[in-house]
Chains A and B, each alone.
Chain A
C-alpha cells in the first residue's frame, strides 16, 4: 500500500459537499433533526461513570439525567448514529485502500509521544467545549447552520477564528 498505487483518490470537495448536503436533507426528512457526534461521548462518559462511581454519577448535575431511573445511556439516537459513522468511515477507507494502522504525525515534524499528548489535550478541550455549546462541528456547525439557526452561524465564525489563531501559534509544532 505504501507505493500508493492501490490508494484511490479522494472525492473532490464539491462532490463530497453535495452528497453530504443530500445526506443531511434525508436525515431531516426521516427524523426531523440533523447529524451529530459529541453527544455520544457524553453517553460514554455517563456509562463509564456508572461503572466506576455509580453514586457520584447518579447525583451529578450533568451526567445524572442520562442514567436516571436505570436508563441506558447508550439507548439514544446519536449513539446509534455514531456507530453508523464508524461503520461508514471503515467501509470508505477499506474500499479506497486508505486504511493504515498508524499514529498520524502529519508531515513527521512531531514525534509519536508528543503527537498523542496533543491529541489527548485537543480531545479534552473539544469534549468540554462540546458540552458548553450543546454540540460540535457536526451538530451545531453543520446541522444548525443548515437550519439557518443563530447558534450555527456563531459557532462557525468563532470555531474558524480560534482555529486560525491557535494553528498560527502551533506552526512550529506540527
Chain B
C-alpha cells in the first residue's frame, strides 16, 4: 500500500467518523432508539446518504466516469448475507453498536464501545474456528446471485430503483415524524452526554398523562 492509497483511506475515514459522531451515532442509546422506533435518525441519515451517494454514482456512470472497467460490486450469496445481517442486527440491539459505530462510541469516551470491539475480535476468532465446517462453507458459497445489482436482477432501469428508494425515504421520514412525536422527540446532544433518554418510560411507573388532567383513573 503506497502513501497515496493510505492518504485517501485516512482522509475518507476521518470524514466518515466525523459525520457519524456529529449525527449522534456514538451513542448506543440513540442508535438503538431506532429499533424502539422512538428516534428515526439512523434510518434518516442512512437513507439520505444512500440516495445522495447512489445519485452521484449513477450520474458518474452516465457520464462514463468510471470507464469500461466500472467499479467493484461484490457478489452476493443469499444465506451468507441473510445470516450475517441477522447476527449484526441482533448484536446491534443487544450490544448497542454496529462495528463502525462502536469505534465512534469508544472515541467519544464510551468504555462499552471498547468492550464491543473486543467482542467482535472474539466473534471473529469463533468464526475462524468453525470456518472449515460443512455448515459454514455451505452458507458462504450457496445461493449465489448471478446479477450484481438489484436493477440487473429485476431487469429494470437503475433510475426506477432510485426513485423507489426516494419514495421509501419520504415515507420513512413521515412515519418517523409521527412516531417521534408520539413519544418525546429525538434524543439530543445533551441527552447522549448526560445519559438521559426522554423516550424511555419505566414499566410500572406509569407514563405521561394525556388528556384531561382533572379526571384520574381509579
Residues of A that sit less than 8 Å from B by CB: 1-2, 4, 7-11, 13-14, 16-38, 41-42, 44-45, 48-49, 60-63, 75-78, 80-93, 96-109, 115-116, 118-138, 140-142, 144-151, 153-164, 166-167, 170-172, 174
Question: What CA separation (Å) do A105 and B105 show in the bound complex?
Answer: 12
Can you list 6 pairs linking A and B with CB atoms under 8 Å apart? Answer: A10-B188, A13-B48, A21-B56, A27-B8, A86-B107, A122-B97
Interface residue B100 (Cβ < 8 Å from any Cβ of A): yes
**Cβ-defined contact, A35 with B12, below 8 A:** yes
- In this complex, which of B16, B105, B140, B158 has the most chain A Cβ atoms within 10 angstroms of its Cβ? B16
Main secondary structure of the interface of B (DSSP, over half): helix
Residues from chain A with a CB closer than 8 A to the CB of B110 are 102-104
Known: A27-B12, A119-B116, A133-B84. A45 touches B93 (CB 8 A): no
**Cβ-defined contact, B124 with A41, below 8 A:** yes
Question: What CA separation (Å) do A142 and B24 show in the bound complex?
Answer: 17
**Cβ-defined contact, A91 with B122, below 8 A:** no
Interface size on B, residues (CB 8 A): 130
Main secondary structure of the interface of A (DSSP, over half): helix
Known: A99-B108, A104-B96. A128 touches B53 (CB 8 A): no
| The 3 nearest A-B residue pairs measured at CB | A122-B95, A123-B119, A84-B13
- In this complex, which of B21, B56, B97, B131 has the most chain A Cβ atoms within 10 angstroms of its Cβ? B21
Question: What CA separation (Å) do A155 and B10 show in the bound complex?
Answer: 26
In-complex Cβ contact of B16 among A84, A126, A137 (8 A): A84
**Cβ-defined contact, B121 with A125, below 8 A:** no
Question: What CA separation (Å) do A102 and B49 show in the bound complex?
Answer: 30
Instruction: Work out how many contacts link A and B, with CB atoms closer than 8 A.
Output: 515
Closest approach, in angstroms, between the C-beta of A125 and any C-beta of chain B?
4
**Cβ-defined contact, A132 with B80, below 8 A:** yes
Question: What CA separation (Å) do A84 and B47 show in the bound complex?
Answer: 23
- In this complex, which of B49, B129, B136 has the most chain A Cβ atoms within 10 angstroms of its Cβ? B49
**Cβ-defined contact, B89 with A13, below 8 A:** no
Known: A85-B20, A123-B117, A167-B36. A107 touches B81 (CB 8 A): no
Residues from chain B with a CB closer than 8 A to the CB of A170 are 93-94
Specify the chain A residue showing the minimal Cβ separation from B97.
A122
Chain B 135-149, CB within 8 Å of chain A: the 1/0 string?
010011000010111
In-complex Cβ contact of A106 among B5, B128, B197 (8 A): B197
**Cβ-defined contact, B95 with A167, below 8 A:** no
**Cβ-defined contact, B107 with A89, below 8 A:** yes
**Cβ-defined contact, A107 with B29, below 8 A:** yes
Interface residue B175 (Cβ < 8 Å from any Cβ of A): no
Question: What CA separation (Å) do A20 and B210 show in the bound complex?
Answer: 39
**Cβ-defined contact, B139 with A132, below 8 A:** yes
**Cβ-defined contact, B35 with A88, below 8 A:** no
Closest approach, in angstroms, between the C-beta of B205 and any C-beta of chain A?
11
Interface residue B19 (Cβ < 8 Å from any Cβ of A): yes
